[in-house]
Amino acid sequence: MNLARWVERNGSRRGDHPALADGDRVHGSWRQFAGQVAAIAGGLRRNMFVSEGDCVAIVMDNRPEYLEALFAAWHAGLVAVPINARLHRDEIAYILDQSGATVVVTDEAHADDVDAAVAALDDRCTTVVAPGVDWDRLAETTPVALFERVPEDPAWLFYTSGTTGRPKGATLSHRNLMMMSLSYFADIDPVSPSDSVLHAAPISHGSGLYGLPHVARGATSVIPTSRGADADEIAALLQSWQGMSFFAAPTLVNRLAVAPAIAGAELRNLKTIIYGGAPMYLADLERALDVFGPRLAQIYGQGEAPMTITALSKSDHVDDGHPRHQERLQSVGVARTDVEVQVIDDEGVARPAGEIGEIVVRGDVVMNGYFKQPEATAEALQEGWLRTGDIGSFDDEGFLTLHDRSKDLIISGGMNIYPREIEETLLRHSGVDAVSVVGRPDDEWGESVVAFIVADGDVNPRPDDLDQLCLDHIARYKRPKQYRFVDELPTNNYGKVVKRELRELLRREAADSPTDSD
Answer for the pair 215, 239: CB distance below 8 angstroms, yes or no. Answer: no
Contact 509, 501 (CB under 8 A): no
Residue 90: HSE in the Cβ half-sphere, 13 Å Cα cutoff: 11
pLDDT tens, residue by residue, 211-267: 999 999 999 999 999 998 999 999 999 999 999 999 998 889 989 999 999 998 999
* Confidence check: pLDDT of 406 > 70: no
Rounded distance between C-alpha atoms, residue 50 and residue 101, angstroms:
10
The partner residues of 103 in beta bridges, in order of sequence, read 56, 126
pLDDT band of 335, cuts 50, 70, 90: very high
Pairing state of beta strands 126-129 and 244-248? unpaired
Average pLDDT of the chain is 92
**What pLDDT, on the 0 to 100 scale, is given for residue 321?**
92
Please check whether residue 445 is in contact with residue 251, taking contact to mean a CB–CB distance below 8 angstroms: yes
**Residue 500 banded pLDDT, cuts 50, 70, 90:** confident
Residue 466's nearest CA partner among 445, 482, 449 is: 482
* Residue 55 and residue 101 in contact, taking contact as beta carbons nearer than 8 Å: yes
Task: Note the pLDDT of residue 517.
Answer: 41
End-to-end Cα, the chain, rounded Å:
52
Q: Are strands 369-370 and 334-335 parallel, antiparallel or unpaired?
A: unpaired
Handedness of CA 147, 153, 154, 156 (dihedral sign): positive
What pLDDT score does 404 carry? 62
Q: Please state, in angstroms and rounded to a whole number, the distance separating the CA atoms of residues 411 and 405.
A: 10
User: DSSP secondary structure string, 30-83?
Assistant: HHHHHHHHHHHHHHHHHHS---TT-EEEEE--S-HHHHHHHHHHHHTT-EEEE-
At 195-208, the pLDDT tens digits run 999 999 999 999 99
Q: What are phi and psi of 384, to 5 degrees?
A: 85, -5
Rg of the chain over Cα atoms, rounded to whole angstroms, equals 23
SS3 of 159-207? EEECCCCCEEEEEEEHHHHHHHHHHHHHHCCCCCCCCEEECCCCCCCHH
Give the mean pLDDT of 64-68: 98
What the chain holds in terms of domains, given with CATH numbers, is: 1-11+28-149 (3.40.50.980), 409-512 (3.30.300.30)
Q: Is the pLDDT reported for residue 493 higher than 50? A: no
Q: What is the pLDDT of residue 409?
A: 77
Alpha carbon 403 to its chain's center: 21
Beta strands (DSSP E) in 303-445 are: 305-312, 334-335, 339-344, 357-363, 369-370, 381-382, 385-394, 400-405, 410-412, 415-417, 432-442
